[in-house]
Structures are given as structure tokens and as C-alpha cells.
Structure 1
Amino acid sequence: MKAISAVRDVGGWEVREDLKEKLQDFVDETNAQQPGFIKVVRHTRQEGLIRSRVSGWRAATAPVVALFDAHVEFNTGWAEPILLRIKEDRTRIVSPSFDNIKYDTFEIEEYPLSAQGFDWELWCRYLNPPKSWWNKANSTAPIRSPALIGCFVVDRKYFEEIGLLDEGMEVYGGENVELSVRVWQCGGSVEVLPCARIAHIERAHKPYTEDLTAHVRRNALRVAEVWMDEFKSHVYMAWNIPQEDPGIDIGDISERKALRKRLQCKTFRWYLVNVYSEMRMYTDIMAYGVLKSSVRTDLCLDQGPNTDNVPILYICHGMTPQNVYYTSTQWLHVGVLSPTIDDDDNKCLVDVNSRPRLIECSYATAKRMKLHWLFTQGGSIQNRKSKRCLELVESSESEFGYQLALQKCSGQTWTITHLLTGTSL
């Protein structure tokens, strides 16, 4: 029996002629030399990446299974250090370290060693290795990782015991975060090995579907509802959708909730405190969504060009530049929620010399700038210190006939889309 079974998903939503006869010819030639070395699992319908990987796991027979994208290349000796780590502890799920293959030239680009994490939309991201790893002064030491980017190696039977991948997810996205959170909360661990290197082609586009974001969002909500307890609100806020009646069918999650209960898993707060302490919590947010004035309800507050730090009015579209968050500390965040505590991307609305500006919240706080706003739903937005109100004024220079101004309050009112459950403004 082989020590490891490698599962690669080669599907997508594009018809690829080279995955038909040419692929079968290659499989036949290889198996003629090494009988049974390659198994091809074909679905009668398109199942997406997540269920395809589980199909591969079901076909595997070795005690250790590696689940990878089709568009990776393996470096010499990549498997041995991973097999040793899993032999020492079968509840470890191990990721190799990634280098990049440029999709247009196929050049190899070496990536720095990283842990793997995610943001509040549950998109995966690279992280700096934790301080505990740097303190070892050993570049070959395993890197404790909050999450998996997506390619990993696991004990085949443990993978089944822990619940495989969530087959209720659709197409692509979120399954790596769900698995990572589940493994940590339910007694296992996740790590990245510096001495196991692969190279990954970051494609120009993902071929699964034209509306990939809708599937990633749906899958993220499944993760939130099963595993994230009171922090599920962060996922809804990041995607700018209401927590109550979001209008998105996430499917049946009863089996996943039963799995969590059966495995006697820890809370998501435990995970944030003990595993992903870099993750930034937003427990002070009271309301979120797009911010509209009664003067022009088709225009929304927008962060505008990042380089300008000047908020603008723009036709409402509800995407990230128009995300607004009002906190119990009376701050108005505009734009993306920074995922980790070492990111200083959070921008706050500030009264700077009677002009509305977007300044990094930490900087504005340190400099004691005017960043506190009195706001009630359907009421004015007034700076607590300057007493000026955020209002719309007519402007011939603006594309939409109005621009933002700070001035003496004239009675203009504002509304924000969503209030968090249990809060009132």
C-alpha cells in the first residue's frame, strides 16, 4: 500500500478537451507501468471543487491523503516531512509552503514563509508566522497556522472522523476555513511546513462559475451559523447583509451542528483567543451597511479613491467602498473591516478643519482628532466635539450635483441599512 494518496480536483465549469481522451491516454499509459497508480473519478454532473475533493477521498486507499488543486507542481522531497508530522500525531492537518507560478510566464516566484488565515468574509490570506515561531530561530520548524489556504495532507481515517469537508457547500470557497476552524475547535491542529514546498499557479480567473462571489458568500454563512457563535455577526457585517432574514438559502446545516455537538467542540471565542489571536474583533459595532441622506436616497457615502482620504457621494451599489459601521464608541468606520490587529486599514470619518476626511482610526485616536459622531437612525450625524453636522450641499463641480460638507446642522437626516440584533439607534 502506498503511504500517501494524492487527490487533485481538475474540474471547473469549462469544457476542457484535454481532460477527456488525452487525460485518459496518460492514465492508461501510467497504469500500464504501475497498475492502479492513478484513479480517475468522473461525475455525471458538475459538483464543484468541494464535493469533488470528497469524491477523491472516497476513492483513496492509502492511510494518508493529500488534497490539492490540479494547478500545482511539487518540489523534491515535499511529502516526507509531512508524513513524519502526521505519523507523530494523526490529528494534525498539514499544509506545505507555497511558492507562486506566474500564470502568464510560468516563472517561479518564491514566497516568504507564512501561516495561513482568513478575513471576515472568510477569504483566505497569508499571515506572518507567529512570534513563537520566530523565537525558535529555526526556519525549518513547523508553523502553527490558524487556517488552511486549501491544499493539505491529512490522515485518511481522521479526516472522516472529523467530518470531511462540508458537502452542503456549493462550488467553491469557505471549505478550507470551515475545516480549519472545525479541526482546531474539535481537538486537532493545523500547521504549515517550511520544508515541504509546492508551487501554485494563481490563475487570472477561476473557472467555476460567472457569479463566484455568491457561492463564496453562501458558504461563508454556513460556516458562521455552525461554528462562529456570537461572532457570526462579523461575517454578516463584512458581507453587508442583514443577520435576520438575509434572503440567502444556506441549505440544511442540522448535520453539521450535530457533528459539532458529537465531537464536543470548543467555542469560536476559544479559537480566537487561543489560535487566531491576530484576528480583529468588532464587538462594539451597533449598525452597518450603506449610509444615505434623506436629501438624495440614491446616493451613498463612499470612501472614494484610497489615496485621497476624502469621502464622496456615489450612486449606491453596496460594495466594500460603501460599507459603513457605527460603533458604541461613536466612530464611523468607512470601507473594509481590517481582518487582523496588525493591519491599520480601518478608516474613520473625522472632522478635519471643518472638512470630512477619512483617517486611520488608530492615528485619529492617538492625535485626539474629532472622530466621535452623534447619530440616531433617521436623525442627523453631528460631530460630538465640533457640533457640525455631516450634510449634503449642492455643487456644480460634483458629478451628481451634491457633495459632502460639515456645517451648521440644518435638519438633514441619515439612515444606515442594518442594525445588529439587540441594538437600537
Structure 2
Amino acid sequence: MLPLPFPRRRSKHIWNIGFVIFVCLIFVVVYNGKTKDLLGESDENNQIMFINRKPDFKAVKHFNNDEKKAVGENPADMLKVQEELDKIKDKTKKPLGQPLKLSKNLDIQERIYEVQIQKELDSVIPGFGELGAPVVIKDEETKEVDEVIKKEAFNKIASDKMSLNRTLSDVRSPKCRRIKYDVNLPMASVIIIFTNEAWSPLLRTIHSVLNRSPDQFLKEIILVDDFSDKEHLKGKLDYYVTSHLPDKVRLVRLKERHGLIRARLEGAKTASGDVIIFLDSHCEVTQGWLEPLLARIKESRTAVLVPIIDVIDDKTLQYFSSNGEFFEIGGFTWSGHFTWIHVPEREKKRRGSSVGPTRSPTMAGGLFAIDRNYFWEVGSYDEGMDVWGGENLEMSFRIWMCGGTLETIPCSRVGHIFRSFHPYSFPGNKDTHGLNTARMAEVWMDDYKRLFYMHRPELKNDSAVGDVSKRKELRNKLGCKSFRWFLDNVIPEKFILDEHVLEFGKVRNSVGDKSLCLDTLQRSEDNPYIIGYYPCHNFLASSQFISLSNKNHLRREEMCATVDSQNRNRNAPVRMVPCLDDDFSQKWVHTEKKELKNVQSELCLDRGSVMSMADAFATKCRGSESQKWYFDNTNIV
């Protein structure tokens, strides 16, 4: 057999070259795709990038609080989600997860960060949490979730399954949606303080501000790291900010733990916007949140504003909201805590519209907007306060007493994860709330500080409170009004425990040589409870401070006594419930026989044969020694 001619050998050689080229092309394509995935350079149709993932609408299911019907199983809901995603895509011009400023020359550590970030994006379950829906955790994950909540004070597992760019329904009142704002508004610096915050809620806060704030009104976002020591908040966060976020996002790192108050001061010092807006690091702003705040400050530079703060459930991450017109404003307790109160009728009449700026005596303190120059003019924060606590009431009283106003803006809505405890420690384990509130009381509450110290007698003359002379000088310099003025003009509904009352103090009954007093028994006053009897203290403890008001309420600060009189033949429990002026069951009289008689039931407070701690009760009035009660103080002439 003759050897093969040369042309056959050349053909095989060419085929081998072609095969090698083909393999190389495949390698280049695959490698290029992997590189693009790693570097975040995939095009806008790449399904790895979250923003273009098609939502899993079967998972988008929650209940509208007003209509009580399922959301997320019809074309209208699908359209809502896609419209929201399109808005974000049109605004950012890049899919979420795609670096904005990334060089191809990544070092090894940067590649590691990028891989971690892409892995986290890939762990997002499409549709979870969309339109504010709850995230449903599998049964087998329940135990792990419970352990995480004990550590983080919220469901981090659910948060990590949600997009950093999750969609939210427009929760504003229809009246708000019809308002047209000035195109020339001041620019805002948004300041977010964090210490050891979890990754996903922090970034979701940032992205929600970027996505739902008109670019022309957002000057900058300033992230202030209060000396976090968690690994994900170190180099990885630096990398994310510089490569995945626009230049208007800046990260400021503090070299030692400052605490919320002083960290906010550091953030404010670096701000350059006309208005500074403080947000917590676990928030989500909603559509149209920014414009009403800026517009109101443009009208009145001394107006300090808070949005309506909606609840993001700490376990399911569901976004709860009201109808946009019913909301509460800030109050306070004599123990120095913030509380929510109803908008009084006088304020509803004054504001005119249900979505108009609504005056609030106090603010929660986590979220508010203020003219940047006015912030410094009116005294910023008390630098003598440590970490957290009391600063919100201090600023609230100061704003009102020194010529400004504090207002809730109903057309601005921000969601907030309300945690049941702080997932971080306080330096020195000090009672910073108590000490800070004592500073506030010394400077701003005048003689009414007596009611605070009744609750916290151990703080009176405590050297740890520190020197408040500079803050008193500030008050004099600003020509601020008295706390009496604040009570009369800003919150006239506030019940003052020892004013406008018939009798007050300990309510004592003595049978033999054993005296018992009405006492809360340290039961929570957040909900109705049965008041009790306890041996009388030799000092005025807050748990035994009871007033008989001019309106004939036997009451505490917010709770009034009533009688469970369904069975008049037995001891009827005396129950404390929220005070209502027109509730006849809450009326009591102190008779000439010293009986405390409930007007509706006609039963009298009775100690019976009780000699120690027990629940209080009322029985048929008979003038016995066990039904005779005496107050420490009386205003009856």
C-alpha cells in the first residue's frame, strides 16, 4: 500500500490546528464569562444580577392592613413589582451587584470580597419580601432563626433572603400623592450611624435612600462607623462603598467607640447639605419620603421634622403601615421615657389637613430632619451625654422651649425594624439612659424634675451625671422659655401627678400596726393590670404614687382604676386601664368616712384581712376599718 500523499497529512494538520483554536475559544468565552461574573461586568440581561431577576410572585404574598385581602397573586401585583424594579434600574443604570467604579485589576483580597458579595446576591430568593410582604421561613430553619434573633435582635436569616433593593408599596395617603412640590428644594445630607450592624439591613437602608430619593435633592449619604469590630464591616464594607456605590456615599470611621450621640455629631460635622437627616441603620424609606421634609424646612428653617415611622416586623420583615392619615405623635413619661400618644383634637383643628405638618411634643429620636445651620445654632446634642438615651427628650424640649417647632410630616414614610433589645454593648455597662435623662432634667425641666427623681431617686446628686453648666449657659443664651410654658402650650393634656389633683401620694390603710399601700407591684403599665397592696415604704416610691384627680380619677400617670363588678357578691378586682374622661366606671369619690368608692359599681376599696402583698379588690361599702384610706397629701380645703 502506498504511503498517503502529502495533501492528506496537511489536511490532518489543519484539522488539529482548528481543534486547538476551537478549544481556546471555548476557554476564552467561559473564562470571560466567569471574569465578568466575578468583576460584576455582566450585561443588564445577565440573570445573576438581582435587579433583572424575574420575581417569584408565588412568594410575594402579604395582607393589606386596610383591605385584608391577599396581595401578590394577580397581574396587578406583578406589574407593581416590575414597575418598581424598572424605576430602580432606570435610575441606577446598572443592575444591583454590578460594581460602578471597579477596575479590572483587582488584587486577591478584592476578588475575595467580590466573590462574597456575588454569593450573597445569589442567595437572595426572588420575590421574598417584595411589596413589603413577610418572609416565610421553612420549619427546619425555625430553631436557627430563634438563635439568631437572640443574638441580633431581629431575623437576620429572613433579611439575607430578601433583595437589598426590595420593592415597597406606596403607603402614602392619596392626598399626599396629589401634592406637587417645588422643583427648587434644599439638598439633604443623610447620616447613618452604625455599630456592628448586620450586613443586609445596613445596605438595604443605603440602597433604599439612593433608589427613592430624587438625585437633585440628595447631596450625600454619610455612613459613620462607630468603631465596629465585626469582620464584614471592615475591608469588605470599604470595598463595597468604593466599588458598588456612587461617589455621594461616604464612609467615616471613628477610631474609638463614641456612642450614638457623639457619632452623630461627627457625622454632622462632615455634612455639607442644606438639611441633615438622621436615619438608623435598619430602615427602608418609601416613595416620596424626602420631598415633604425638604419642602417644610424651606418654609420654616426652625421646624424639626420626623416622618411617620412604620414598623418593619423584626421576625418576618413585613412592612406594616396605616392608611396614611391615622398616626400617633410623641409624648413622654415622668420617668423620662418616650411614648406614643394620640393626636389631640385641638391639633387636628389647627393643622387643617389630615396630611398637614402635625405638631409633636417629642420625638423618638432615631429619624429626623433639621436645617444644618439651625442644628448647630440651637445646640446640636449635649456632648456630655454618653452613648444613647435621653437625647431625644433633651432635643425635643430644647427645640420647643427655644423657639422652634417639632412636627410629624404625614407624607414622609420610613420603615424601621423595632428591636426588643440592643444587640451591642454599652461602654462600661453604664446606665446611660438614666444618667443622660438626669442631665436633661437638670437643664430643662425646672422644678418638674422632682417628678423624674421620684422615679429615679438614686440619680439625684449622682456625680456621674456630670457638669451641666455649659448647657444651662446655652439655655440662657438662647432665651428659652420655662418648662411650665412647654406643659401649658405644647402638651396641655399631660397629667401632672401632684397638680390639679384633689389628693396625691401614698394611699394608706392601717389595721392594727400593719400599714398597707396601693402599689403597682412592679407590673407593666403598658397594658391593663390589677393593682395591688404592699407594705408602705418609708419614702415616696413611684410604684406607690397615686393621685385622685380633679376629674375624680383614681390614677397613675396614664392608667386609671376601675372595678370588675360582674359579681358584686365577691371581691371585685381593681383593674388599671387607660384613662378616659367620659368613662363613668373610672370615677371615684373619697367619702367623709374615708372610703374610696367607685361611683358606677358603688363598691369600696377594701383591704379585708390582707396583711402583706396581694391584689387589690373592692367590696360592698360598710365603713369598716379595712375600707378607710388616707393620702399623704391633700389639696381639699
> How would you bin the TM-score normalised by the shorter chain?
0.7 to 0.9
What residue in structure 1 maps to residue 188 of structure 2?
4
Q: Is the 8 A contact 1:290 1:323 kept in 2?
A: no
**Contact (CA 8 Å) 1:272, 1:279: kept in 2 or not?**
yes
Question: What per-residue deviation string (whole Å, max 9, x for no partner) do you get for residues 191-210 of structure 1?
Answer: 11111111111123223437
Aligned residue identity for 1:309: I
AA at the equivalent of 1:52: A
Q: Does 1:324 align with 2:535?
A: no
The answer on whether the counterparts of 1:349 and 1:357 sit within 8 Å (CA) in structure 2 is: yes
SS in 2 for 1:29: helix
Q: TM-score, normalised by structure 1?
A: 0.74
Structure 2: where are the runs of 5+ without partners? 1-185, 197-226, 598-602
1:248 and 1:290 mapped to 2: Cα distance? 33
- Over 3 Å counting, the alpha-carbon distance change for 1:353 and 1:257 in structure 2 is farther
Question: Which protein is richer in strand relative to its size?
Answer: 1
Residue 110 (structure 1) shift: 0.2
Match of 1:229 in 2: 446
8 Å CA contact 1:3–1:63 kept in 2: the answer is yes
- 1:402 and 1:255 map into 2 onto residues whose CA distance is 48
Q: Within 5 Å, which residues of 2 pair with 1:112-123?
A: 112-123=326-337
Q: 2:413 aligns with which of 152, 174, 197?
A: 197
Secondary structure of 1:41's aligned partner = strand
CA-CA distance at 1:99 after TM superposition: 1.2
Unaligned runs of 5+ in 1: 339-344, 375-381, 395-399
What are the equivalent positions in structure 2 for 1:182-193 lying under 5 Å apart? 182-193=398-409
- C-alpha separation between the residues in 1 aligned to 2:554 and 2:310? 35
Report the equivalent of 2:457. 241
Residue 232 (structure 2) aligns with: 18
Distance 1:227 1:161 in 2: 17
CA contact (8 A) 1:118 1:124 kept: yes
Aligned to 1:309: 530
Q: Distance in 1 between matches of 2:505 and 2:583?
A: 21
Between the aligned partners of 1:231 and 1:38, the Cα distance in structure 2 is 44
**Aligned position for 1:397:** none
CA distance in 2, matches of 1:134, 1:153: 22
The corresponding residue for 1:70 is 281
- Give the Cα–Cα distance (whole angstroms) in 1 for the partners of residues 392 and 615 of structure 2: 43
Q: Is 1:29 the equivalent of 2:239?
A: no
Question: How many pairs were matched up?
Answer: 389
Give the one of 346, 360, 376 matched to 1:145.
Answer: 360
Q: Give the secondary-structure state (helix, strand or coil) at the position aligned to 2:431.
A: helix
1:172 maps to which of 379, 388, 393: 388
Q: Secondary structure at the match of 2:304?
A: strand
Q: Do 2:606 and 2:616's aligned partners in 1 also have CA atoms closer than 8 Å?
A: no
Instruction: Indicate whether 1:43 and 2:260 are aligned.
Output: no
Contact 2:561 2:586 in 1 (8 A): no
Quick one: which amino acid aligns to residue 188 of structure 2?
I
The farther-off stretch of 138-147 and 93-102 is 138-147
Instruction: Describe how 1:273-422 pairs up with structure 2 within 5 A.
Output: 273-284=488-499, 295=514, 302=521, 309=530, 311-313=532-534, 323-327=543-547, 337-338=557-558, 345-347=559-561, 358=574, 369=588, 371=590, 383=595, 390=607, 393=610, 409=625
Deviation at 1:273, TM superposition (A): 1.3
CA distance in 2, matches of 1:269, 1:403: 37
Matched, 1:253 2:465: no
- Give how far 1:358 is off: 3.1
SS at match of 1:178: helix
Residues 58 and 271 from structure 1, CA distance in 2 versus in 1: closer, same or farther, beyond 3 angstroms? same
Seq. identity, %: 30
Q: Which whole-Å CA distance do the structure 2 matches of 1:391 and 1:160 have between them?
A: 60
SS at match of 1:40: strand
For residues 68-90 of structure 1, give each alpha carbon's deviation from its aligned partner in whole angstroms, at most 9, with x where no partner exists: 11111111221112111111221
1:124 to 304, 316, 338: 338
- Residue number in structure 1 paired with 2:371: 155
Q: Do the aligned residues in 1 keep the contact of 2:519 with 2:544 (CA within 8 Å)? A: no
Check the 8 A contact 2:554/2:588 in 1, yes or no: no
Change (3 A) 1:104 1:373: farther
Change (3 A) 1:390 1:148: same
Closer/same/farther in 2, CA of residues 363 and 262 from structure 1, 3 Å limit: same
CA contact (8 A) 1:240 1:288 kept: no
Whether the 8 Å CA contact 2:573–2:617 is kept in 1: the answer is no
Deviations 1:376-411 (A, max 9, x none): xxxxxx6478999858646xxxxx79887999659x
Query: In 1, are the aligned partners of 2:297 and 2:370 still within 8 Å (CA)?
Result: yes
CA RMSD of aligned residues (A): 4.5
The Cα of 1:276 is off from its aligned counterpart by 1.6
Q: Does 1:109 align with 2:329?
A: no
Q: CA deviation digits over 1:98-155, x for unaligned, max 9?
A: 1111111111100443322222223222332343553366333111221222111111
More helix by share: 2
Tell me, yes or no, if the aligned pair for 1:97 and 1:196 is still in contact at 8 Å: yes
2: CA distance, partners of 1:401 / 1:89: 55
Contact 1:121–1:217 (CA under 8 A) maintained in structure 2: no
For residues 29-60 of structure 1, give each alpha carbon's deviation from its aligned partner in whole angstroms, at most 9, with x where no partner exists: 156x42xx233222222221111111110111
- Which range is displaced more, 81-90 or 247-256? 247-256
What is the deviation of 1:6? Answer: 0.8
SS in 2 for 1:173: coil
CA contact (8 A) 1:324 1:333 kept: no
What CA distance in whole angstroms lies between the structure 2 residues aligned with 1:19 and 1:288? 52
One-letter identity of the residue aligned with 1:152: F
Which stretch of the first structure deviates more once superposed, 400-409 or 14-23? 400-409
Q: Which has the larger radius of gyration?
A: 2
Distance 1:291 1:254, change over 3 A: farther
Q: Which amino acid aligns with 1:323?
A: S
Which amino acid in structure 2 is aligned with residue 324 of structure 1? Q
Deviation string 1:247-285 (CA, Å, 9 cap, x unpaired) is 463111111100000000011111111112232222348
Q: In 2, distance between residues paired with 1:329 and 1:131?
A: 22
Counterparts of 1:205 and 1:181 in 2: how far apart (Å)? 26
Deviation larger for 146-155 or 274-283: 274-283
CA distance in 1, matches of 2:547, 2:504: 7
**1:83 alignment counterpart:** 294
